[in-house]
Structure 1
Amino acid sequence: MKITALGAGGFACTTQYHEVDTAANPAGPALEAALAANHFFDAAPPAANAVGADLQRWTIAVDADGHRHSISFVQDGSAASRPWEALLARILAA
């Protein structure tokens, strides 16, 4: 399974890219479990109600078994984005 996280925005308007191959990464099984726990493949993206040019916007995409699913969210600490922010932290730490 390949997981990618792409972020853009913030005060400096930076772009960040992180990729994890769960088969090759020691954190892979834990990431796959976190995806399942968050029902990633069934999830609809959170509503993008956040306003602010300084907010980081992220897309997490997962390629697994020939299928691709992605969600995009604004990293604003809201209840809607909190589960995705926690998942993102795990991806970035892997």
Structure 2
Amino acid sequence: MKISATSSGGFAGLSEHYEIDTQVHPQGRAVEAALAHAGLFAQLQESVQPVGADLRRWQIVVESPEGRSSMTFIEDGSAASAPWQALVAHLRQQG
């Protein structure tokens, strides 16, 4: 499974990109387990879109043998985006 996170927007307009292939990364299975435990796979294809042009927008893409799924969220500190922000933080640490 490949998981990528790409940001755009925000106050400074900076972008970030992180990617992990869970089949080859030493922590890959743990990342998959954390996603499944948090129920994030069930939330793919949903979008969390609060208003705010200066907020950073993330696109998460998961590619697996079953297909490709994606979702977007705004990094606004809300409870709805918290699991996704935790995933991005985890990907930052692995990169």
TM range (shorter): 0.7 to 0.9
Counterpart in 1 of 2:7?
Answer: 7
Counterpart in 1 of 2:90?
Answer: 90
Map 1:75-86 to 2 at 5 A.
75-86=75-86
What is the alpha-carbon distance in structure 1 between the residues aligned to residue 48 and residue 62 of structure 2? 20
* TM-score (normalised: structure 2): 0.86
Task: Give the secondary-structure state (helix, strand or coil) at the position aligned to 1:78.
Answer: coil
Q: Name stretches of at least 5 consecutive residues in structure 1 with no aligned partner.
A: none
Task: Give the secondary-structure state (helix, strand or coil) at the position aligned to 1:92.
Answer: helix
Counterpart in 2 of 1:47?
Answer: 48
Percent of matched pairs sharing the same residue: 46
* TM-score (normalised: structure 1): 0.87
Equivalent residue pairs, number: 93
Say what the alpha-carbon RMSD is for the aligned residues: 1.5
CA gap 1:46/1:78 in 2 versus in 1, 3 angstroms: farther
Asked if structure 1 preserves the Cα contact closer than 8 Å seen for 2:48 and 2:74, the reply is no
Q: How much has 1:46 moved relative to structure 2?
A: 4.5
Counterpart in 2 of 1:27?
Answer: 27
What is the alpha-carbon distance in structure 2 between the residues aligned to residue 93 and residue 27 of structure 1? 11
